[in-house]
Chain A
Amino acid sequence: MSVQTPNGFQLDNAGRRIVVDPVTRIEGHMRCEVNLDENNVIRNAVSTGTMWRGLEVILRGRDPRDAWAFTERICGVCTGTHALTSVRAVEDALGIAIPENANSIRNIMQLTLQAHDHLVHFYHLHALDWVDVVSALQADPKATSALAQSISDWPLSSPGYFRDVQNRIKRFVDSGQLGPFMNGYWGSPAYKLPPEANLMAVTHYLEALDFQKEIVKIHTIYGGKNPHPNWLVGGVPCAINVHDTGAVGAVNMERLNLVSSIIDRTIEFIDKVYIPDLLAIASFYKDWTYGGGLSSQAVMSYGDIPDRANDNSAENQMLPRGAIVNGNLAEIHDVDLRDPEQIQEFVAHSWFTYKDESRGLHPWDGVTEPNFVLGPNTRGSKTRIEEIDEAAKYSWIKAPRWRGHAMEVGPLARWVIGYAKGIPEFKEPVEKVLTDLQLPVSALFSTLGRTAARGLEGSWAAHKLRYFQDKLMANIKAGDSSTANTERWDPKTWPKEARGVGTTEAPRGALGHWIVIKEGKIDNYQAVVPTTWNGSPRDPAGNIGAFEAALLNTPLVNAEEPLEILRTLHSFDPCLACSTHIMSPDGEELTRVKVR
């Protein structure tokens, strides 16, 4: 049956149904089903979040100063971003101002995550959608070297170097034990890179794997460990002491120098390896223009990376804030997370129940009662789903909407908003990429546009690391070593009741936490996360979310191999542990599996 969605997409579920479960190279668990027409073009797409954990209910009754540690464990891939969002929500509720140094260090932590996460996503979660590992064995190392040297002055580029890597891959393949590359879609005509580009990319896959662990040492210095560094309501836990006795027990000159050297190496790796690879790979896929989905019509960002401490105005955010709807890039709407009319979550197609499921609820008033039921047209059984019924409830993800619109969030959304606002540090790199690849602006609204925006943002973040590290040094030099405000550390200083909102722009997009504090304890906690926006199921009006919209109208080269589906889903960098953590208010036990 063919239907038109209110947000302008044509859905037809008459054709052959294809199921991809598990969707791999993502965080968490997800399932995707599509219907193909007779030409193997996707005409209907159904995205299902297949896990939930219930952290919000676990937070009730706990010390708000501990909330960062719980919410940080929502996700270990975007590690730290939930913790930062949480301390911001608590500080907003209690009216706590943080020192400038704490703002700089927090931004450094967040930018470190952006740089690391985007790099790892590109090479280790996304590249195999574009790069044929087995084809790399056919490459001429000399020609590979010439290719690498033509696009970058990165020193590891000799013919001998590429030959060594190629030999290592060859021995690995010859061993017959392909490990993570087993059953890949090698040799598929959907792969377009010549062998030399494949060898270059596989080489950098390994180099990036070795290098990424260096970037996160910044988290280790300021936060003690990575993944899951430590945070503090009121500032940051690491004290600064560059002058006096005891400096070895705090952030001292050696520690600051270590951070500085990691920043330099991160900038170099991203600008000399990641960005040139991204452009080289994209140049072979210019004809693959699919996957735009909502990006050309409805995008949103809360803004992040405040230049000065304690100023939440849009002007102070280095990542832009705003919403674009109906494809009108000339008008950027303001986003207010406190306004009950703006952000609302719906559950008509989610495994939760509301009293009136035709309506959405603002997170302050959020109700989250689980209701795992399948529709009458499900094929299979309750614990053996063969084909899901998307006319009924079909996902553990709720459907958030901004003023009723399904929105795309993430790097592409941020860069489209920055571009539309005419901010030079967003507009100019976008225009340069489009010019270099000889592409029109419309090419931005695609799977590859999303992947390119993430790369540009990785580079942007690395350079902003330098800005904030220099700012931190300048402030210390000016005599300010303060890192924490403890005036309201003691719960006795808090009001009887308070509520607050905290936001960040996580690597995957707009992230918000809403907290209510009563008598020194958490009374209610709600998180609306990037993959809840992008991976949302349909709402009562029938609007589809960003994943589903982006998959539509994409042809598959081979219906048995979901390569193109993975490509587009991966361009969002899905994070399912984040999106599906909501739970019943009481946590009551429902049906239970017998253990013994």
Chain B
Amino acid sequence: MATTETFYEVMRRQGISRRSFLKYCSLTATALGLAPSFAGTIANAMETKPRTPVIWLHGLECTCCSESFIRSAHPLVSDVVLSMISLDYDDVIMASAGHQAEAILDEIRHKYKGNYILAVEGNVPLNQDGMSCIIGGRPFIEQLREVAADCQAIIAWGSCASWGCVQAAHPNPTQAVPIHQVIHDKPIIKVPGCPPIAEVMTGVITYMLTFERIPELDRQGRPKMFYGQRIHDKCYRRPHFDAGQFVENWDDEGARKGFCLYKMGCKGPTTYNACSTVRWNNGVSFPIQSGHGCIGCSEDGFWDKGSFYDHVTDTRVFGIEANADRVGIAAAGTVGVAVAAHAAASAIHRIKQRAGEHHEENDQA
């Protein structure tokens, strides 16, 4: 059998010199908080390690995560698939089908026991004996449990796998549940969004390959590097919020001037994601830049928090004072506005903390 290509060989092939490679290993050691002597260990691991196998399973979903993944511009998805990982099972793109496809799962599970990444797109329906998602004549939940048993870690792609998303919206007719409610004994990295941003998806994978560790996660299991801040915190329209300049109606003067979309229902103030920094499709735009408020698609239960066009303060979940309305009424640039705006931001912060606690209660339920 042919020998497998190592991470080091891949890097060399991509024009990285031996010298740069070793330097990279010592920087990696430093970044991981290890002694400089560990650089050799890392170099040795990379020189001898084959590309990490990835098994990508699909439950109840719409395939938007896969579509997003192939939009990645840096790295290009062709480079990810040909040179960085070994995407051995993904029924959206794999050549084989039926028995030949199922045989791959057995092979990878045994050959790379404990050393492959399981990526899951979509979630698990529990109703109908689990048979509202049938793979190979059996319920999806069986396939998921078998493949999860021997994996190293699980990446939960998108809001379906992370939270439940649209099919789990009230009344959740199929009893669709996120991955962490079914698999309890493996680390799960949640990469929510409907879908997640392409470069965030490949960013998470390349981080894990490069640093050989799971990225630091927040208490809900999301990588802090991409989900640590609200869209509102870094929104380029934020100065208009602070100045009390709002879009009041679609296609009005404010819309044409790019004012803040808060009053049109923008969920940017309560949504943790990288849209306003990384932006979408290689940085071309993001929802707010193209005139529509954020719908909060990376948040748990975002389908059930009222209309996408309600103010965040009017939503059923929060239902508290509408401070930001006062901001809009006041004239721009006065001290009063600045104070009110600050109060609004603080109120949102408090709400968010409460919402976070709410999530944890859900997790324990």
Which A residues have a C-beta under 8 Å from some C-beta of B?
Answer: 19-29, 31, 50-55, 57-58, 62-63, 65-66, 69-70, 73-77, 79, 120, 124-125, 128, 133, 168, 171-185, 206, 209-210, 212-213, 216-217, 219-230, 232, 234-241, 244-246, 248-251, 258, 370, 372, 380, 382-386, 396, 481-484, 486, 489, 561-562, 566, 577, 583-584, 586-587, 589-593, 595-596
Contacts and interface: CB of A to CB of B under 8 A. Distances in A.
Given A69-B295, A223-B290, A226-B280, 7 more contacts: A19-B137, A29-B135, A213-B70, A221-B290, A246-B258, A577-B62, A593-B129
A386 B138 CA distance: 9
Nearest to A582: B173
Contacts of A51: 60, 132-134
Contacts of A26: 92
A185 B96 contact: yes
28 contacts: A25-B97, A29-B133, A50-B134, A51-B60, A58-B166, A66-B307, A66-B309, A70-B169, A73-B62, A76-B65, A175-B5, A177-B4, A178-B86, A180-B95, A183-B96, A183-B101, A183-B104, A185-B96, A209-B77, A236-B291, A238-B291, A238-B292, A251-B291, A258-B284, A383-B130, A383-B138, A562-B98, A595-B177
Interface residues of B, number: 109
A80 to B, nearest CB: 11
B281 A226 contact: yes
Interface in B53-107: 53, 58, 60-68, 70-73, 76-78, 81-82, 85-88, 90-98, 100-104
B78 to A, nearest CB: 5
Given A22-B101, A171-B5, A58 B169 contact: yes
A258 B60 CA distance: 36
A232 to B, nearest CB: 6
A412 to B, nearest CB: 23
Interface of A is mostly: loop
A31 B97 CA distance: 10
Q: Which of B181, B257, B290, B295 has the most CB of A within 10 A?
A: B290
B184 to A, nearest CB: 8
Contacts of A380: 137
A595 B64 contact: no
Given A210-B76, A246-B258, A486-B250, A76 B62 contact: yes
Given A58-B173, A128-B95, A210-B78, A230 B295 contact: yes
Contact of B284 (A53, A182, A220, A232): A220
Nearest to B64: A76
A21 B135 contact: yes
B271 interface: no
Given A79-B67, A213-B281, A224-B292, A21 B256 contact: no
A562 B97 contact: yes
B292 A232 contact: yes
B4 A241 contact: no
A539 to B, nearest CB: 22
Nearest to B6: A175
A20 B81 CA distance: 26
A246 B326 CA distance: 24
Interface of B: 1-5, 13, 50-51, 53, 58, 60-68, 70-73, 76-78, 81-82, 85-88, 90-98, 100-104, 125-139, 141-142, 165-167, 169-177, 181-182, 184, 194-195, 198, 237, 249-251, 255-259, 275, 280-282, 284-292, 295, 297, 303, 307-309
Contacts of A22: 91, 97-98, 101-102, 135-136
A219 B292 CA distance: 13
Contacts of B259: 249
A74 B169 CA distance: 13
B283 to A, nearest CB: 9
Contacts of B129: 372, 382-383, 591, 593
Given A22-B101, A221-B284, A590-B128, A240 B137 contact: no
Contact of B286 (A54, A128, A224, A590): A224
Contacts of B289: 224, 249
Contacts of A29: 58, 133-135
B308 A69 contact: yes
Closest 7 A/B residue pairs (Cβ): A249-B258, A76-B64, A246-B257, A184-B95, A587-B173, A224-B287, A54-B173
Contact of A54 (B13, B100, B136, B167): B167
B94 A180 contact: yes
Q: Kindly name the residue among B91, B95, B141, B194 whose own CB sees the greatest number of chain A CB atoms within 10 A.
A: B95
B170 A133 contact: no
Contacts of B174: 52-54, 583
Nearest to A20: B98
A105 B361 CA distance: 44
B134 A31 contact: yes
A217 B282 contact: yes
Contact of A24 (B97, B176, B251, B284): B97
A577 B58 CA distance: 11
Given A180-B95, A183-B103, A228 B195 contact: yes
